[in-house]
Amino acid sequence: MEKLSLSTKIDINAPVAEVWKGLTDPEIVKQYFFGTNVKSDWKAGSPITFSGEWEGKSYQDKGNIQEITPGKYVKYSYWSSMGGTEDKPENYANVSYTLDENDGFTTLTVTQDNIKDITSKEHSEQNWQTVFGGLKKLLEK
């Protein structure tokens, strides 16, 4: 069965450097990403972890930074402890953030692959819009 991919965009009225900081600074991430603690040194090959509590359950999501162009692009593998799948390579998704600045506005494009069905795809798209809608609000204050 073929897995699905998604791509969703959000425009943020802020310079690309501020949006990048919002994606990579743990203190900022925690404010809009459901209280998630993100840990990474943001270098290719390095681990990335997302941990916290959601609806009373602890989670520890993880992956590795696969490609990075600081300030512009990052792609990481991602496995969620809440996803109900075993921690093995075929259960990891690839997630990427691409930033493009135009006249002080930044377009953030998020892509994700290895999605099992259309319901999960719609849920993920909605989730990314909610998460990065929070970042947008924070940066546009």
pLDDT at 2: 77
> What pLDDT digit, counting tens, does each position of 69-101 carry?
999 999 999 999 888 899 999 999 999 999 999
Percentage of the residues of the chain whose pLDDT score is greater than 90: 90
Residue 56 has pLDDT above 80, yes or no: yes
Q: 6: closest CA among 77, 99, 112, 105?
A: 112
The DSSP code for 15 is -
Residue 1 has pLDDT above 70, yes or no: no
> What pLDDT digit, counting tens, does each position of 9-54 carry?
999 999 999 999 999 999 999 999 999 999 999 999 999 999 999 8
pTM to 2 decimal places = 0.94
pLDDT at 71: 97
